[in-house]
Structure 1
Amino acid sequence: MNQKIFVSAKEVADRAGVSRSAVSRTFTPGASVSEETRRRVMEAAEALGYHVNHLARGLMRNESGLVCLIVSEMDTPYRASLIRAISRQLQNVSKIAMLINTDRSDKSVDDALRLAISYRADASIILSGMPDKSISDLCVKSGQRLVLINRDEEREGALMINLHDREAARRAFIAFQRAGCRRLAFANSDVGTPSLMAREEGFVSAAQAAGFEVAVERFGSTRYQSGVVLAQRLLTREVRPDAIFCANDLLACGVMDTARHQFRLEIPNDLCVVGFDDIEQASWSSYELTTFAQPVDRIAEEAVSWLAKPLYDAGLSCKLSAELNWRGSVRGG
């Protein structure tokens, strides 16, 4: 089997009859090179099949151009949309996303970060789990930058991007209250991430401050089937809720289908439902789900713009708002 041999810049220079530095300047944006030299170099590169080795160029400047995305549950709609937005933003600034699939455990994130360091990644964006502080310190010492999305513990030198989850939860309570709902419930997973728990705690706190009790159920992962189980638990209680705030849209879809098909309830007449994320399915006519939209494009912009700043720029915390999209799953919406 023939081994692929990459064409070198020197070979292009020899064929074009120019210096090696002229080839480098030709492929460097903004560099000074005559039109005749550029023409000869480009013709030679085309004939030989030459492509610039951006990785080698970057390593000469102590940059690889690689940014690791450390992700779990990448097949879920919200996570997929966030990966798409971040990778697009990275490409816009000539960075390459390297995807590392993890579970939700902190150890898997630590292992992923060590892998990122070994590949000399410029940065890692963590969407799952929380790295050990010693691993975070190792990243900083190795010149790698960290972006932590929806994590609750600060890391020195890292950018923390979170949502105003508690404020969104308070708005969900107000929506139910104005719709005339009195028997409230919160459907959550067992995952226990900071963002999910902030939504639960914010909703319960807002309701209790107004004199309402909230039935809370937690089960499984943040997926559709967990929503089915949560609906079965909540809707077979002695006091059946007339409003359920779900920690995310996949849970809400499972709750709504179970309420309608197993319990013959009408939404929103018998049961009002609010979700979180605003995944594509939320707008489908089968659901018409009232939900909070994750600002995925803004999250991606904040992460990538911070990575483009000088290394001495200190870490910071960024809080974003999730806008409520009214649809047909809440009366009066």
Structure 2
Amino acid sequence: MAGVGEAAARRMVDALFIERAWGSRSASRFWVLLALAAVIASAGVVGDSTATVIGAMIVAPLMTPILGTALALVLADRAHVVRSVLLVFGGAVVVVLIGMLLGWIAAPPDAFASNSQVSSRISPRLIDLLAALATGTVGAFALVRTDISDTLPGVAIAISLVPPLAVTGLLITVHRYHDAGESALLFATNVAAIVATGTLVFLGYRVRDAAREAGLPVGTFHGRTLAAVAAVVLLVAVPLTTGTVSVARDRALAADARPVADRWAEAGAWQIASVDARNGVVLVGVLGLPPQPAPTALRAALDGAGMGDADLQLRLVGGRTHWCPAGTVTCTVERSPVD
């Protein structure tokens, strides 16, 4: 693999290391674009608009300090490692807070239960890590190779950074804390993958040698740096593996519960809006006019179909939520533990 030259090393440092001063050109650009991307992403999620969320991905500048962390690790530049990590963390907090603000203003009555933008970001799996590793590699490669830099917009769309954070903030406002943690895990997965692949690409292109020749500060690179990066990726992979197994189990549970819910709703001329399963809990969304069919009848039907060990959450869109625990024949009107 051919190395990069001195000019490329300077260009990468200028592009990825955001200046310390708040009023500097790079810092002001980062924070303004990040705030706007957070608003766009949160509004897109609330409106369940894929096009709007994609727009936020293109605008979002979080890839800069994440790849900056990888470059600083390769150069063994401790000051820039700390600054880049703080920018990533601080930026993430800002996006979550903006998501919470928009959630307080515009959270729907069903607490995002039927929102496809939310549901696609609260069940991270190993495949998400593999996709993030590939996308992070492309991003670092495009940064090193100016002749393919036109792929960067595609990288921004493929890697999901701001939308999961916006989802985290929105879900916090409706007290769905477990799901908020899952969307935050998706963000952490993408960050770990970008740092890992960026570090390997920069090492492979001998950016350290080019930076040294360009007179840039280069410290001593230790093997434990790579070990630490690998450990972070493995640490993220553990809950993703668990999530992969859980998602497969929940999909099978939802498939079994759907016909049961349909038969129950037909008895009262109601309509099933959605049937899902999450962490072993059957989630049913239902539409219709009073009187509603008895939630206990659905609980009994699930028990009779061999799903007696699965809790049931029945959401009446625009109305109440009924919680029917496994092993009981009663239902209560309350927020369920999955919220």
> Normalising to structure 2: TM-score of the pair?
0.27
- Larger Rg: 1 or 2? 1
From the two aligned structures, give the one with the greater strand fraction.
1
> Normalising to structure 1: TM-score of the pair?
0.27
